[in-house]
């Protein structure tokens, strides 16, 4: 058994996330977590809401609420939606927690003591129209590298180039749109991550198994242009973690807070402490996941995120950990994703474009979305959600292949043999061929899941479903029954057991449907099919079952057209 620590990029608190956010981090992380638990590993799956910075302040102001109240309410909302999608977090924390504040201040103190913090007097953009300094993310303009006209002051989302606000062409306030900006002097703390460049470079080089997308972005930030630059880790804001040197005040930093991208990744650690504190456990309970001097040296740590988050998780957060000089666990594997686009354009939380997680659950159960998103995950390139493709995939994969198999087998058995696994007959060559196929494909499915090749795993799972249907068509128990009822009994007995196997194998992708299949088969037996012959005899003759309700209803043309029209515009 291996201990596996899994984190997915923590979503901003400023609104409900769209399906592109979901498939870029939380959903594949849940898939991997569920699979690893099913294989008997000890898993700690952590996520949280990212609650600091200007996005939270602006969203709260728009909602007419104090920022702390808004964040508490939105955390509850996001938590309920995550539950609706079956995301099996061990803990869903908050970056505004006391645990994260203390840990963030602790890391800052350690970095200062080790010479990795520098006080810098700098010029920062001030908006006269807004009456405030503008954080980098709230200055927009044209990227000098690629020409994208909505680049932010910290990074261009289009080409991922690291930027300063003064790099932007025709900068404007993202709050008011005003171009009445001026540069004023202020003092901030910088993380001297450039001093860790060689150490970071060697560490990334050691990760030969990382996806090309992950390493290429990291290397680009390390070596392009001036290479890895020192990064400001404080801001002139009211909402955030107050700047302190551990527990001590930091002279000259009064009224400032740590930059959200400094404290947010630390929340992965803090959320694990939140988990332990909520259960009245001592510190060893969370430290065994994070400190190598407390047992975390045998933990495999895997992160899931969209490509826009890669630079901070391959460089800035590791620099924080390395620079602390303390034995914290570094990530072992980063699974990064490209973007999921929406029906000819881009999903956008800020612009309200696309279908959002709460809207999705209003029209269909989570498994419909989970299957489509994972089977179309944007791993090697950007992918696109279209309603036509969604309808076709749901109807063909879920309704016609998996759902149809379950329905045909249980209804036929109930009608001809009664509501119990029938006795009689022995397996023949057809059954042996099916078992061999299932063994081969299940081992391939496992390999893809272990490698976190999400689309390949989905394709292999579908092929396993197809194999059962092809067997059913080939042996045709409804015809066999007329000539040889015992032979038909053996065929249908194997098929009933295969429903249980399908439930177990499919649970990481479609947990609700899996539970329905197990309930219909009247079993709590969820052991992984290590040996297919053993797995296909788990339900013995006489074991009672019920005919499950329809697993997946087909999406009609009328529904597709209605949804396509309803979500064609932007969310209010």
CATH number at residue 61: 3.40.50.620
Helix (H) or strand (E) holding 119: strand 117-127
Residue ranges at the known binding site for ATP = 349
Known binding-site positions for Zn(2+) = 143, 146, 156, 159
User: 304, 395, 398, 331: which is closest to 31 by C-alpha?
Assistant: 304
Q: Which residues are annotated as a binding site?
A: 143, 146, 156, 159, 349
Residue appearing with tokens 């999400």: 454
SS (H, E, C) 556-572: CHHHHHHHHHHCCCECC
Backbone angles phi, psi at 130, to 5 degrees: -90, -15
- For residue 150 the two structure tokens come to 């909505």
Does 388 lie in the same domain as 347?
A: no
The pLDDT value recorded for residue 134 is: 84
**Contact between 239 and 13 (Cβ < 8 Å):** no
Assigned domain for 547 exists: no
User: What pLDDT is attached to residue 49?
Assistant: 98
Residues 388, 527: one domain? yes
The structure tokens listed for 27 are 């959903």
Instruction: Kindly state whether residues 504 and 394 are assigned to the same domain.
Output: yes
pLDDT in tens, the chain (572 residues): 799 999 999 999 998 999 999 999 999 999 999 999 999 999 999 999 999 988 898 889 889 999 999 999 999 999 999 999 999 999 999 999 999 999 999 999 999 999 999 999 988 888 999 888 887 878 999 999 999 998 988 889 888 888 888 899 999 998 889 999 998 888 999 999 999 999 999 999 999 999 999 999 999 999 886 678 999 999 988 899 999 999 999 999 998 999 999 999 999 999 999 999 999 999 999 999 999 999 999 999 999 999 999 999 999 999 999 999 999 999 999 999 999 999 888 877 666 678 999 999 999 999 999 999 999 999 999 999 999 999 999 999 999 999 999 999 999 999 999 999 999 999 999 999 999 999 999 999 999 999 999 999 999 999 999 999 999 999 999 999 999 999 999 999 999 999 999 999 999 999 999 999 999 999 999 999 999 999 999 999 999 999 998 999 999 999 999 999 888 876 65
Q: Are residues 395 and 531 in the same domain?
A: yes
State both tokens at 2. 């291996």
Question: Does some domain include residue 542?
Answer: no
The count of structural domains within the chain is 3
Cα 174–chain centre separation: 28
Same domain, 37 and 166: no
Provide the domain limits for residue 418. Answer: 383-535
566 in any annotated domain = no
Closest CA to 470 of 445, 498, 490, 503: 498
Last residue of a domain, one of 364, 399, 426: 364
pLDDT for position 133: 81
Residue 288 and residue 215 share a domain: no
Same domain, 281 and 333: yes
Residue 449: inside a domain, yes or no? Answer: yes
**Residue 351 has what pLDDT?**
67
Q: Say if residue 354 is in the same domain as residue 223.
A: no
Q: How many CA atoms lie within 13 A of 297 on its CB side?
A: 5
Q: pTM higher than 0.85, yes or no?
A: yes
């Amino acid at each position: 058994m291996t201990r596996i620590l899994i984190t997915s990029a923590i979503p901003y608190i400023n609104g409900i996330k769209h399906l592109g956010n979901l498939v870029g981090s939380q959903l594949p992380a849940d898939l991997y977590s569920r699979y690893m638990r099913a294989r008997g590993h000890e898993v700690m799956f952590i996520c949280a809401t990212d609650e600091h910075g200007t996005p939270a302040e602006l969203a709260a102001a728009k909602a007419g609420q104090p920022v702390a109240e808004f964040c508490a309410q939105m955390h509850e909302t996001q938590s309920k939606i995550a539950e609706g999608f079956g995301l099996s977090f061990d803990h869903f924390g908050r970056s505004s927690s006391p645990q994260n504040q203390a840990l963030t201040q602790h890391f800052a103190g350690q970095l200062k003591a080790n010479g990795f913090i520098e006080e810098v007097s700098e010029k920062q953009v001030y908006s006269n129209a807004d009456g405030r300094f503008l954080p980098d993310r709230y200055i927009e303009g044209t990227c000098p590298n690629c020409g994208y006209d909505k680049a932010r002051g910290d990074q261009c989302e289009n080409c991922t180039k690291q930027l300063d606000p003064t790099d932007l062409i025709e900068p404007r306030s993202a709050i008011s749109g005003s171009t009445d900006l001026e540069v004023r002097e202020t003092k901030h703390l910088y993380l001297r991550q450039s001093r860790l460049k060689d150490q970071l470079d060697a560490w990334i080089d050691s990760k030969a198994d990382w996806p090309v997308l992950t390493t290429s972005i990291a290397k680009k930030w390390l070596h392009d242009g001036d290479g890895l630059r020192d990064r400001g880790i404080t801001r002139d804001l009211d909402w955030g973690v107050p700047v302190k040197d551990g527990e001590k005040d930091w002279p000259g930093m009064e009224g400032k807070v740590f930059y959200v991208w400094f404290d947010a990744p630390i929340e992965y650690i803090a959320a694990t402490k939140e988990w332990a504190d909520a259960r009245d456990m001592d510190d060893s309970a969370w430290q065994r996941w994070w400190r190598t001097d407390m047992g975390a040296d045998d933990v495999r740590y895997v992160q899931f995120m969209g490509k826009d988050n890669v630079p901070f998780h391959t460089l800035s957060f590791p620099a924080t950990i390395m620079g602390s000089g303390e034995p914290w666990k570094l990530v072992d594997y980063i699974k990064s994703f490209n973007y999921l686009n929406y029906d000819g354009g881009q999903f956008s939380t800020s612009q309200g474009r696309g279908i959002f997680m709460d809207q999705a659950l209003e029209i269909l159960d989570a498994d419909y979305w989970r299957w489509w998103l994972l089977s179309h995950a944007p791993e090697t390139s950007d992918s696109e959600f279209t309603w036509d493709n969604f309808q076709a995939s749901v109807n063909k994969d879920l309704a016609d292949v998996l759902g149809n198999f379950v329905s045909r087998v249980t209804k036929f058995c109930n009608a001809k043999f009664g509501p119990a696994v029938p006795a009689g007959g022995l397996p023949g060559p057809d059954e042996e061929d099916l078992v061999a196929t299932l063994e081969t494909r299940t081992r391939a499915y496992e390999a893809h899941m272990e490698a976190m090749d999400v689309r390949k795993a989905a394709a292999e799972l579908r092929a396993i479903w197809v194999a059962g249907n092809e067997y059913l068509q080939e042996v045709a128990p409804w015809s066999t029954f007329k000539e040889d009822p015992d032979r038909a009994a053996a065929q249908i007995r194997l098929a009933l057991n295969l429903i249980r196997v399908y439930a177990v194998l499919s649970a990481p992708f479609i947990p609700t449907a899996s539970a329905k299949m197990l309930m219909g088969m009247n079993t709590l037996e969820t052991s992984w099919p290590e040996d297919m012959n053993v797995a296909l005899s788990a339900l013995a003759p006489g074991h009672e079952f019920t005919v499950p309700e329809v697993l997946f209803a087909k999406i009609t043309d009328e529904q597709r057209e209605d949804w396509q029209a309803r979500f064609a515009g932007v969310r209010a």
